[in-house]
Amino acid sequence: MAKDHEPNEDFSDLELIARWRAGDERAATSLVARHAPALARFAMSLGQRSDVEEVVQDTFVRAFGSIESFRADSSLRTWLFTIERRLILDRRRGDRRRRDDAAIDDGDAATQFDALDGLVAEEAEARVRMAVDRLSRLQREVFLLRVNEGLSYKEIAEVVGSTEGAARVHYHNAMRAVKESLYV
């Protein structure tokens, strides 16, 4: 699979977008291969346990359908995260309406992650997972975007629709909670 898009591997995201707009469909393959794993991780960090690939696909379809609105003020990955987050929240609202049930709140995600505990070999990792699951949804999003993706507070604020200062506070609160779960 990787060999299909090797010639485009050295191009930046903006160059690949330009090539795709010029008719090079292999540029789209490179962009998807480059960002899909991070989008899948982010979807899971938002509590998305099923249909992760479908969410990732919908994210790319929506992004490529409105690629002219991407202004490169932020990175492409940040923009994709923003789209994916909105998609997941919309899905949850739809599910909530259909089920006429309670919203997937902060506790629901923890319950979903609990099911994975058996798959986690090391105890420390399980404790970390539990600690992250107990975070509020916004804290969890901010924390995992910072740790797993290395996004800056500015980029995180763009994704979650908050401010840099708020993102910083959420990160440090989450960090304290995770350390307490490990060392206290």
3-state helix, strand, coil in the chain (%, to 5): 75, 0, 25
Residue with tokens 């105890």: 123
> Least Å distance between CB 155 and another protein?
11
Cα separation of 162 and 145, whole Å?
13
8, 143, 157, 170: which one binds another protein (CB under 8 A): 143
Helix axis angle, 137-147 relative to 164-183, nearest 10°?
90
Q: Who contacts 165 (Cβ-Cβ below 8 Å, separation ≥6)?
A: 153
Give me the 152-171 binding string for another protein, x by CB under 8 A, dash otherwise.
-------------------x
8, 13, 28, 160: which one binds another protein (CB under 8 A): 28
> Is residue 40 a contact residue for another protein (CB under 8 A)?
yes
Which residue stretch of 73-81, 85-93, 100-108, 172-180 sits at the interface with another protein (rule: CB under 8 A)? 172-180
Q: To 10 degrees, the CA torsion angle through 41, 43, 49, 54?
A: -110
> Least Å distance between CB 89 and another protein?
19
8, 45, 78, 139: which one binds another protein (CB under 8 A): 45
Rounded to an integer, what is the distance from CA 71 to the centroid of its chain? 20
Kindly list the residues in this chain that would bind another protein in the complex (CB under 8 A): 1, 20-25, 28-29, 32-33, 36-38, 40-41, 44-45, 52-53, 56-57, 60-61, 64-65, 120, 124-125, 128-129, 132, 143-144, 146-150, 171, 175-176, 178-180, 182-184
